A = this chain, B = another copy of it.
Amino acid sequence: MGPKTNRNTQVLLARRPQGAPTEKDFRIVETPMPETRPGTVLVQNLYLSLDPYMRGRMNDAKSYIPPIEIEAVMGGGTVGKVIRSDIADMPEGAIVEGLLGWQAFAVAKPKALRIVDPTLAPISTALGILGMPGLTAYFGLLDLGKPEPGDTVVVSAASGAVGSIVGQIAKRQGCRTVGVVGTEEKARYILDTLGYDVAINYQTTDNLRTAIRDAAPDGVNVYFDNVGGPVTDAVFNNLALRARIVICGQISLYNASRQEMGPRNLTQILMTRSRIEGFIVFDYLDRYPEGLKDLSTWLANGEITYKEDIVDGLQNAPRTFIGLLEGKNFGKQLIKIAEA
């Protein structure tokens, strides 16, 4: 097996965005097919994951992963097929997940890749419910949120790749779940399909603080935060005693070109003796198998479900990513690069 072309397609970071990214911040280029070296495999990427954290990497700022250099390939999670290999454990035809970036083909060392079992679930789920977003929901909620039966769990971006799974796991734990979303369609989806008890559309709600209070009259025990900003302010005004707040994302702030201001609310944390904790799934690398085992079982049992928002064509990655940051996706955002 080998590539049918001798050209690669890559999406580069052309320049650092000022505020919200535009298509001009990216450049799509044709480059020579990468060459394998001994001990590496050539992978044809089939799906690319688009995730909010990528916005941070476009800035030249210290973070938990280094910034993407100008003119470098945009980084990101991929699922692909091994099309050239002399490695017995990772033969041609194997489906692999890795961080191969916004490109059609890539060479990688086997240890940087995880073999995906295509009989378990559609291979795209290795970037979603059975991948980084699923594991983020799993460890973030269970390890830091520590939901107890009867707790009220509020999730922002509740229909998103992570939030949709958080809500379902919380429900499975016997919690009352409140999801915050940005469209009526998403509100319906989280109620009807994900089993959320309450949906709040932050775009049409006059008073978020009151809406959260009405949805959580005894206070919020667990808040799984993907967005930050005014939604988070409203939750902080409605915390139960010893609430656990998992800071998983702050997407509402990622496009800010200077630090945004908001109400100082640590007094609320003090009064309620609540705990806020930052969460990044990479810290749980050695526990991924545990999480994937549970998530796979629950998915196979029909206890949890997922939704994907798949856009065809790598050339559409920039505009799709821009939309993701505006909440335009509905479900886990993926780019389909090639047919499996």
Contacts and interface: CB of A to CB of B under 8 A. Distances in A.
Of A225, A263, A264, the most chain B CB neighbours within 10 A belong to A264
A264 B266 contact: no
Contact of A270 (B247, B269, B273, B274): B247
A185 interface: no
Interface stretch (A42-50, A276-284, A292-300): A276-284
A5 interface: no
A279 B64 CA distance: 28
Contact of A263 (B232, B261, B273, B274): B261
A267 B283 contact: no
A36 interface: no
A270 B278 contact: yes
A63 interface: yes
Contacts of A261: 261-264
Interface string A239-259: 000000001111001000001
Contacts of A273: 64, 277-280, 283
B271 A264 contact: no
Interface residues of A, number: 33
Contacts of A276: 266, 269, 275-277
A281 to B, nearest CB: 11
A331 to B, nearest CB: 23
A229 interface: yes
A248 B270 contact: yes
Given A63-B271, A64-B271, A228 B277 contact: no
Contacts of A89: none
Contacts of A269: 247, 276-278
Question: Which A-B residue pairs are the 4 nearest by beta carbons?
Answer: A270-B278, A276-B276, A269-B278, A273-B278
10 contacts: A64-B273, A228-B266, A259-B264, A261-B262, A261-B263, A262-B263, A262-B264, A271-B278, A273-B277, A275-B275
Given A64-B273, A228-B266, 19 more contacts: A228-B264, A228-B267, A247-B270, A248-B270, A250-B267, A250-B270, A259-B264, A260-B264, A262-B262, A266-B276, A266-B278, A270-B279, A271-B278, A271-B280, A273-B277, A273-B279, A273-B283, A275-B278, A276-B276
